[in-house]
């Protein structure tokens, strides 16, 4: 499954491996730890998808890898959060949209694609809650990294955390809303297209789905 990913995805993984090796060689253990954490988190979805026998669109997997690399590695090691004020908004907003889509797909899979088993609004609501929960867990992760490794992922503390949660809320609403629009037969460009691509690649999870 690793070989099936896009060239850019594999190049990002290779860059992280090189960065981790160079950091270990120069005994910069905190940098090595961040690089390895970034590598592990970006590869985790591939392993989970393989274990669950799910085919994930390459474009979506690339988006996950770019988000993890942009958030942890570029954001912390290269200080993108302080150099570009909009970096934090893009990272949190983009991830929330993605998790909103993931939450929708997961709930939709539970009903085997039967949109009549639960109304679209209910499926979208649980997708929204899923994305918010992931966002809250990420804030806990940032707090833990700051406390354990002496990083500054939370920046201004409470203000940064609340700002991130607000952005997460907006992104989650967009992602879940895209799932709602998909069930209603509406097209919202790339977002509903990702859902359609996932459904098409994994028909055994959506046996009751009929457009």
Mean pLDDT of 21-42: 88
Residues 91 and 139 in one domain: yes
- In-domain check, residue 134: yes
Longest CA–CA span in the chain (Å) reads 59
Give the mean pLDDT of 139-162: 79
- Choose among 78, 88, 96: nearest CA to 160: 88
Residue 26 above 80 pLDDT? yes
Whether residues 84 and 174 share a domain: the answer is: yes
The predicted structure's pLDDT at residue 189: 67
Does residue 72 form part of some domain?
no
Residues with Cβ within 8 Å of 184's Cβ and at least 6 positions away in sequence, in order, are 120
Indicate whether 46 and 115 sit together in one domain: no
Residue 62 inside a domain? The answer is no
Residues 6+ apart with CB under 8 A from 204: none
pLDDT digits (tens, 9 = 90+) for 81-97: 888 888 888 988 888 89
174 pLDDT band, cuts 50/70/90, is very high
pLDDT at 133: 93
Average pLDDT, stretch 116-132?
A: 89
* Separation between Cα atoms, residue 195 and residue 93, nearest integer Å: 18
The position carrying tokens 């190049």 is 11
Residues 195, 156 share a domain: yes
Predicted local confidence at residue 188, as pLDDT: 65
């Amino acid at each position: 499954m690793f070989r099936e990913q896009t060239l850019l995805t594999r190049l990002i993984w290779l860059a992280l491996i090189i960065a981790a090796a160079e950091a270990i060689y120069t005994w910069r253990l905190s940098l090595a730890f961040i690089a390895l954490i970034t590598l592990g988190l970006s590869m985790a979805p591939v392993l989970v998808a393989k274990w669950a026998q799910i085919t994930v669109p390459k474009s979506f997997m690339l988006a996950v890898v770019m988000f993890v690399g942009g958030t942890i590695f570029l954001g912390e090691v290269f200080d993108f959060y302080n150099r570009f004020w909009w970096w934090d908004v893009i990272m949190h907003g983009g991830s929330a949209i993605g998790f909103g889509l993931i939450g929708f797909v997961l709930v939709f899979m539970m009903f085997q694609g039967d949109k009549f088993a639960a109304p679209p609004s209910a499926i979208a609501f649980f997708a929204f809650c899923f994305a918010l929960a992931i966002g809250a867990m990420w804030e806990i992760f940032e707090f833990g990294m700051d406390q354990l490794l002496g990083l500054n992922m939370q920046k201004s503390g409470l203000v940064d955390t609340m700002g991130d949660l607000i952005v997460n809320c907006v992104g989650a609403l967009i992602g879940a809303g895209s799932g709602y629009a998909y069930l209603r037969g509406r097209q919202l460009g790339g977002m509903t297209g990702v859902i359609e691509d996932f459904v098409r690649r994994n028909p055994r999870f959506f046996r009751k789905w009929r457009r």
